[in-house]
Amino acid sequence: MRRGFKSVNVMMVALLVLMTAACGDGASKDSRVKNVIVMVPDGFSAAYATNYRNYIGGQASTLDEILVGMAKTRSLDHFITDSAAAASAMATGNKVQNGAISMTADGKALKTVLEGAIEANKATGMVVTSTLSHATPGAFSSHANSRVQELEIAAQLIGKVDVLLGGGKNLYSPEDKKRAEELGYLYLENRDQLLEANHDKLFGLFAGESMTPEIDRDAMTEPSLEEMTNKALEVLAPNKNGFFLLVEGSQIDYAGHVNDAAWAMREIEAFERAVKSALEFAKENGDTLLIIAGDHDTGGMTVGNVDSSYSIDLLHHVKASGAAMIDYWKRQGQDLKEVVHEYAQVELNDDEIRAIEESHYYEATLNQIISDRAGIIWITLYHTGVDVPVYAYGPGSSKLFGVIDNTDIAKVIAQSIGFDLESAEGVE
């Protein structure tokens, strides 16, 4: 019996060593953390991860290789969180009410890990495909009683964050852009300007609102998430005190809200490319902590269903988002059946055409039909409360093993860079 116990103990120790090595944690010397990269695939859950793995042929994704645990996501006032409350928890280590941007219920601003990085004289950056003032980037960088206060959130970013890349041009006036330039930012509006930029402060607004969905994006005019991430790393890395970078794959969530499986897979693919860049940087720089975690699940996507075959390869043939196909039909007057055949390689039958035409939500109905052909069912157009995967690499990453709360992400970051969240009493 004793011999058996010894064998089990040896195996457990070996397993722990392997798990630690896989995350690149080494001796877990938090003092070695110079840079922190937080990447948020908004709306992403285990079902998205499984479908994406199958979508790329069944091989492990870059994310699969650094999975460390799962995170609970509920907000202060609801079992189902929204993006603002989830991001605020990840940024401040505190639960807040749905809709709040790093603010307590009584209107007290909570310090964020990005603000902690600024106090530590680190460079900071945010890269998103939403507007820069949207819920997730807003919660890491700003404070507002409600996420709908995007103009107020947008105004807080200029002069605070060194690299700002994303959408939201319509939220800034010419005076705002002039102020940014006076504060030393290089203002950018397209992909070429981004790729050519050689400056230590960047303010890139590449779309009026959110950037174009990856599945519809003109690669010659709007930069990809990977390109924006690479440029941010290039600009931030020279800072002698290190940096904090937030990267959000914002539109995985958007696709989930309209049940567009093909769009979701393209967004995850774009996000994975950005992850590869960040992970390569972290591996080359042993003082970098990389954390990747979804904020919540969106849509309740399934992986196959009992009543139909699972044919996710079908999604490779879809060349436009459901929104774009509906636009071709409703606004440009093209034949619906021909549009869907051309852009999705799907032959709609009469019942499906009728269902779309009579729907109160054309886009979601079309997307659900295409998803069903691929064997994917959605249970909602909104968020769900399931736990989300957490991925990590680098010093301190072992502290994220197992089932954690989303607030633990902020606490691990704060400890790694020497910022005491517990003593934070808000900001003016």
Q: Considering only CA atoms, which of 275, 277, 284 is closest in space to residue 34? A: 284
Is residue 275 predicted with pLDDT exceeding 70?
yes
Percent of the chain with pLDDT over 90: 88
Spatial neighbors of 386 by CB under 8 A, at least 6 apart, are: 45, 46, 73, 297
Answer yes or no: do 295 and 317 share one domain. Answer: no
Condensed to tens digits (0 to 9), the pLDDT of residues 197-253 reads 999 999 999 999 999 999 999 999 999 999 999 999 999 999 999 999 999 999 999
Domain endpoint, select from 357, 373, 389 = 373
Per cent of the chain over pLDDT 70 is: 91
Under 8 Å between Cβ of 210 and 129? yes
Residue 341 shares a structural domain with residue 414: no
Q: Is residue 22 part of a domain?
A: no
**Residue type for 224, please?**
S
Q: E strands within 137-223? A: 163-167, 186-188, 202-205
112-123 tens-digit pLDDT: 999 999 999 999
- For residue 419, what pLDDT is reported? 85
* Residues 346 and 223 both lie in one domain: no
- Determine the structural domain holding residue 116 and report its residue range: 34-301+381-423
Position 170 in a domain: yes
pLDDT value, residue 3: 46
Burial class (CB in 10 A: 0-12, 13-18, 19+), 200: middle
Are 159 and 219 within one domain?
yes
- Tell me which of 61, 75, 83, 210 is the catalytic residue: 83
Asked if the model's pLDDT at residue 30 lies above 50, the reply is no
- Give yes or no: residues 175 and 67 share one domain: yes
Does residue 221 sit in the same domain as residue 350? Answer: no
Whichever domain contains 394, its CATH number is 3.40.720.10
Instruction: Give the residue, 356 or 26, on which the prediction is more confident.
Output: 356
Do 79 and 149 fall within a single domain? yes
How much is the pLDDT for 428?
47
Residue 25 has what pLDDT? 56
Minimum mean pLDDT range among 70-74, 235-239, 281-285, 416-420:
416-420
How far lies 384's CA from each of 77, 253, 293, 298, 353, in Å? Answer: 15, 12, 16, 6, 29
Mark 29-40 as b/e (b = at least 16 C-beta within 10 Å): eeebbbbbbbbb
Burial of residue 85 (CB within 10 Å: 0-12, 13-18, 19+) is buried
Residue 423 binned pLDDT confidence (cut-offs 50, 70, 90): low
> How many domains are there within the chain?
2
**Helical segments of 197-321, H only:** 225-236, 251-257, 261-284
pLDDT at 421: 80
Say whether 65 sits in a helix, a strand or coil.
helix
> Quick check: is 83 catalytic?
yes
How far apart CA 100 and CA 102 sit, in angstroms, is 6
CB atoms under 10 Å from CB of 302, counted, come to 17
Residues forming a β-bridge with 202: 163, 186
Question: Alpha-carbon distance 312 to 268, whole Å?
Answer: 14
Residue 395 pLDDT exceeds 90: yes
103-162 tens-digit pLDDT = 999 999 999 999 999 999 999 999 999 999 999 999 999 999 999 999 999 999 999 999
Same domain, 361 and 390: no
Same domain, 237 and 359: no
Asked if the model's pLDDT at residue 21 lies above 60, the reply is no
What local confidence, expressed as pLDDT, does residue 305 receive? 79
- Kindly state whether residues 169 and 250 are assigned to the same domain: yes
